[in-house]
Amino acid sequence: MSLVSGPGRGGTHNQDALPDQLKLAVDQHVRYIRNLDTRKDELQYWLTEHLRLNGVYWGLTALHLLGHPEGLPRDATIKFVLDCHNIDGGFGAAPGHDSHMLYTVSAVQILATVDALPELESSKYGGKAKVADFIANLQDRESGTFAGDEWGEQDTRFLYCAFNALSILNMMDRIDVDKAVAYVKACENFDGSYGRIPGAESHSGQVFTCVGALAIARRLDLVSQDRLAAWLSERQLPNGGLNGRPEKLEDVCYSWWVLTGLSIIGKLHWIDKSKLSNFILRCQDTEHGGMSDRPGNMVDVFHTCFGVAGLSLLGYPGLRKVNPMYCMPDDVVQKLPYWHK
């Protein structure tokens, strides 16, 4: 898809009228992401092995939103994902690593994004039913929430990951959705925002997971929409960036965690979109590509993904539309059988 002539959403900027530092450095970002896997002689590459499958998801998602799906070779990507599959049906961060919910959701998202979900059936450790079993076994049938792995830490992040992956696999019937939904409601605080477990501090990361899970379950009626939107809009600081909770610093990734909540409940206009968009663009390395948490800091693929996804939600021209519930290209989500029931 050509970035300029592709199906962009139109939005807050006319790109040609922008000064250079406020233009999205598409070619540099694509080159930066493509080169990440060629840096195997760097210590940093091996120090981040425990995040590899997440890293592939972040890089691939950014490339697809930037209009360059060819940026990572499809066959090698599918092979790497399947090499991370384990006998318990879950996926590890890299071949030989233990299974965890966080990598399992990335595996499912990657395969769906490159239209390769049927490839799961060729895995020596079983197809999508086995993956669904791994996820379903992590639900605490008493409380309804989920653990990340067999060791048991519970967090609404894992509940969201289960909803995300199982809805993509069209296997939500493997879990007790009503119990999980009631658990999410119990994580809501007086300010309309959400925490990791009932009574935990409100954090915008948890707004993404809780509101995202309720949206996937088609239960947005449970969200205190005006109170939540007020709390989320207060996350914007004078420099345009967003923080994750009161009194904290801004960070590009909150352009995703905060903005998605507002987008899902139809209140994106409660923040200053143009100021946020300029903040994200100031976090680019326009020479070598990539985005950082704040202007001038070192770039990484996590912030690059959520910066680009945030710009897509803001309607930055030329970007492929992102889906706020899944952080995947919207056209991929629209085709999922789960959304046609």
CB of 170 to ligand GRG, least distance (A): 18
Position 303, amino acid = H
3-state class (DSSP) for residue 175: coil
State which residue, 13 or 64, has the beta carbon closest to ligand GRG: 64
CB of 125 to ligand GRG, least distance (A): 22
CB-CB contact of 123 with 82 (8 Å): yes
CB-CB contact of 271 with 238 (8 Å): no
Which H or E element spans position 33? helix 26-35
State which residue, 92 or 205, has the beta carbon closest to ligand GRG: 205
Does 161 interact with ligand GRG (rule: CB under 6 A)? yes
Given the structure tokens 């590509």, which residue do they identify? 289
Interface residue with ligand GRG among 211, 232, 327, 333 (CB under 6 A) is 327
Separation of alpha carbons 37 and 71, rounded Å: 12
CB of 23 to ligand GRG, least distance (A): 26
CB-CB contact of 19 with 278 (8 Å): no
Residues 275-294 that bind ligand GRG (CB under 6 A): none
Does 211 interact with ligand GRG (rule: CB under 6 A)? no
Interface residue with ligand GRG among 208, 231, 279, 316 (CB under 6 A) is 208
Give the number of residues in contact with ligand GRG, rule: CB under 6 A. 17
Residues 78-117 that bind ligand GRG (CB under 6 A): 102, 105
Does 160 interact with ligand GRG (rule: CB under 6 A)? yes
Separation of alpha carbons 101 and 162, rounded Å: 7
CB-CB contact of 274 with 14 (8 Å): no
Interface residue with ligand GRG among 11, 89, 195, 205 (CB under 6 A) is 205
Q: Applying CB under 6 A, which part among 88-96, 153-161, 166-174, 181-189 lies near ligand GRG?
A: 153-161
CB-CB contact of 299 with 291 (8 Å): yes
- Gyration radius of the chain over CA positions: 19
Instruction: Give the closest residue to 265 by CA, choosing from 192, 315, 218, 211.
Output: 211
Interface residue with ligand GRG among 148, 244, 318, 329 (CB under 6 A) is 244
CB of 250 to ligand GRG, least distance (A): 9
Interface residue with ligand GRG among 117, 136, 242, 253 (CB under 6 A) is 253
DSSP at 6: S
Task: Indicate the residue whose CB is closest to ligand GRG.
Answer: 205
Does 307 interact with ligand GRG (rule: CB under 6 A)? no
CB-CB contact of 35 with 288 (8 Å): no
CB-CB contact of 57 with 310 (8 Å): no
Interface residue with ligand GRG among 245, 267, 275, 321 (CB under 6 A) is 245
User: What tokens appear for 121 in the block?
Assistant: 């059936």
CB of 46 to ligand GRG, least distance (A): 23
Which H or E element spans position 137? none
Does 209 interact with ligand GRG (rule: CB under 6 A)? yes
Query: In angstroms, how far is the first alpha carbon of the chain from the final one?
Result: 30
Interface residue with ligand GRG among 23, 31, 248, 321 (CB under 6 A) is 248
Q: Which residues bind ligand GRG (CB under 6 A)?
A: 102, 105, 157, 160-161, 164, 205-206, 208-209, 244-245, 248, 251, 253, 257, 327
